[in-house]
């Protein structure tokens, strides 16, 4: 009970330093983890290297120019994603769905594509050194 209390000083300003405001891109990057729903997200030019994005929904996402080196994208949904100019070297794309994705200018060297769905992709990616690329996507060139 404060019936007889005397207030000597009152400061309405918070004592803690305010939290910084995140941009939309920064918030999306913080959400980029296994199982995340990043459908149609703009992650163009983002640094997602070595991220664990297992089973993440990145369908329709703009990942153009993104750094996905060594990313773990096991069973990730990248259908319809724009991966043009992205660096996917050494990425784990085992059983990933890349149907309808734009891979023009993407670097997939050293990536593992075992069981990956590459139906209707926009090819133009460098598959040199990629592992387990289904033959039907390579044709005779090895670099499409």
119 burial class (0-12, 13-18, 19+ CB within 10 angstroms)? Answer: middle
Write the pLDDT tens digit of every residue in 43-53: 999 999 999 99
Write the pLDDT tens digit of every residue in 91-106: 999 999 999 999 999 9
Element (H, E) at 30: helix 24-31
Write the pLDDT tens digit of every residue in 64-78: 999 999 999 999 999
Domain ranges of the chain: 33-137
Write the pLDDT tens digit of every residue in 27-66: 666 767 778 899 999 999 999 999 999 999 999 999 999 9
- Predicted confidence at residue 39, as pLDDT, reads 94
Domain 33-137: give its CATH code: 2.160.20.80
Distance CA 81, CA 36 (A): 15
């Amino acid at each position: 009970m404060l019936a007889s209390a005397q207030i000597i000083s009152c400061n309405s300003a918070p004592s803690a330093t305010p939290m910084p405001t995140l941009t939309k891109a920064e918030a999306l990057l913080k959400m980029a983890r296994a199982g995340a729903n990043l459908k149609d997200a703009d992650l163009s030019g983002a640094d997602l290297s070595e991220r664990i994005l297992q089973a993440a929904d990145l369908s329709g996402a703009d990942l153009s120019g993104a750094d996905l080196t060594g990313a773990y994208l096991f069973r990730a949904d990248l259908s319809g994603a724009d991966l043009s100019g992205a660096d996917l070297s050494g990425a784990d794309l085992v059983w990933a769905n890349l149907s309808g994705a734009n891979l023009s200018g993407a670097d997939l060297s050293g990536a593992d594509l075992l069981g990956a769905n590459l139906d209707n992709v926009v090819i133009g990616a460098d598959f040199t050194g990629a592992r387990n690329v289904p033959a039907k996507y390579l044709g005779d060139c090895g670099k499409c």
